Amino acid sequence: MEYLKKTFRWFGPDFGVSLAEIKQLGVEGIVTACQTVPLGEVWSLDTIATLKSEIESHGMEWSVVESVNIHTSIKYGYDDRDDYIEKYIQTIKNLAANGIYDVCYNFMQLIDWTRTDLDFELPTGASALKYNPIAAAAFDLFILARENARESYSSEIYLAAKTYFDELDGTQRQKLEDAILAGMPGSRKLIALDAFKSNHAKVLKISKKQLQENLSYFLNAIIPQAEKLGVRLAIHPDDPPFSVFGVPRIVSNYEEIKFLLECCPSPSNGVTFCSGSLGASSKNDLVRIIEDFGDKIHFIHLRNVSCSLDGSFYEADHLTGSVPIDEVMKAIVRQQKMRYDNEKGVVRIPMRPDHGHVLLDDKKRQNDFYSGYSLIGRAIGLAQLSGLEMGIRSGLQIS
C-alpha cells in the first residue's frame, strides 16, 4: 500500500524559499496558489498553466491548491455572491483542465489565522508562533476597541488584559498589533487596522447560524460542479478553533464538520485535516474526527501545538506537544488501509508539514519568508513525520 503523498507549501517566486531548495527535501508535490490574482477573480487557464509548468520544471507536481480564497460577499451572504460563485466555478474548471483536482480553502472571517506572537523564543533558541488569550483580549479591548468587548470577558480576564496592555511600551504594542494583522499567509503586507475594524464590524452583525447557512449556500452551488469535474474541495478548520474578537467559528469541532459535510453530501465535499488547528482545543478528539469523517479527508496538514490551561498555545515540535500525533498518524494509516481494501478513494492522501520553527541558517533570512513557513523547520517536520509514518506502518504490519 502506498505511503502518504509528501508535499510542501510554496508561495511563489517572491517567497524566500525556492523550488530548487524544496526539491532537495525529496518531496513529490507542491502546495500553492496563483497569489497574484485578485481575490474573487478567475484564475485563467494560462496563469494556472504557467505556474504548473514552473513547478514541473523542478521535477515536482502541483499536488494541491491552497487556497482558492473565497470572496467576502460569499462568506457574508451579500447580493453579489452569485457572481463570485460563478467565478469560483470557472476557476475550478480551469484547474481541472490543467489536471489539478485537489483544492483547499477556508471560510474564516477577518483573517486566515490568529497569533499574538510571531517570534516566540523557545528554550532551544528557535522561535515559533504563539497565541496568548490575554494578549488577544488586550488587542480586542484596547487596540481594536470593539464595542461592548468588555462584556465578552470575565473580570479576571479583563484585569489581566489591562495589566498586560498597560505594561507594554509603544514598540511592544505595535508588535502585538502587527502580529495579529499579519494573519494572511501569502502576503507580507499587514492588514490596515482601519480596514480590519470595518470588516470586523460587518461580520459581528452576522450570526453563527447565518454564517453556516452562507457556507451551505456556497457548497450547494459549487460541489455539484466540482463533482462533475472530479475536483475534491477540502475546507480547512478555523484557526484557532474558538471565537476570537467576538467572531463565531463555524468549522472548529466535530459537530460543525458534520454540519458542513451533511449540508451537501458528495465525494467532492471534504475537509483538510489540520492537527494543529483542531488540536488547539482540548475538546476536539482528533482520532474520532479521522475515524468518523476519514473518507472525506482530501488533504492533511500535520503539526503540533503545546497547549496550556489558560488557553494559550505555541507551535511545538511536530512530534511533541498536546496533539497525540502518533495516534493521529495511526488513524490516518488505518483510513488509507480501508481505502486500499475497498478500492474507494485516494490512498495517497496529500500531506504536508505545517508551521515550522525558525532555527539555524533560517534565522539569517527569516524576513524573507512568511511567518510559520521557514525552510529548515518544516524540513525537520517532514522528516519526523515520514519516520513516524514508516514506524507506525511497521508496527501495524501495513507495508
User: Has 373 been annotated as catalytic?
Assistant: yes
User: Has 104 been annotated as catalytic?
Assistant: no
Among residues 84, 355, 357, 362, which one is catalytic?
Answer: 355
User: Has 318 been annotated as catalytic?
Assistant: no
Among residues 104, 264, 274, 307, which one is catalytic?
Answer: 274
Please say whether the beta carbons of 25 and 370 come within 8 A: no
User: Has 357 been annotated as catalytic?
Assistant: no
Q: How far apart are CA 345 and CA 1, in angstroms?
A: 13
Q: What is the Cα 227 distance to its own chain's centre?
A: 23
Amino acid residing at 158: Y
Packed helices 286-293 and 254-262: angle between N→C axes, nearest 10 degrees:
20
Among residues 140, 317, 354, 362, which one is catalytic?
Answer: 354
User: Has 354 been annotated as catalytic?
Assistant: yes
Q: Give counts: helices (H), strands (E), the chain.
A: 14, 12
* Residue-by-residue DSSP string for 291-305: HHHGGGEEEEEE-EE
Q: How far apart are CA 167 and CA 179, in angstroms?
A: 18
User: Has 301 been annotated as catalytic?
Assistant: yes
Task: Identify the burial level of 249 via C-beta atoms within 10 angstroms of its C-beta, where 0-12 means exposed, 13-18 middle and 19 or more buried.
Answer: buried
Q: How far apart are CA 240 and CA 276, in angstroms?
A: 9
Q: Which residue has the cell 490575554?
A: 134
Among residues 200, 236, 318, 357, which one is catalytic?
Answer: 236
Which residues belong to the active site?
A: 236, 274, 301, 354-355, 373
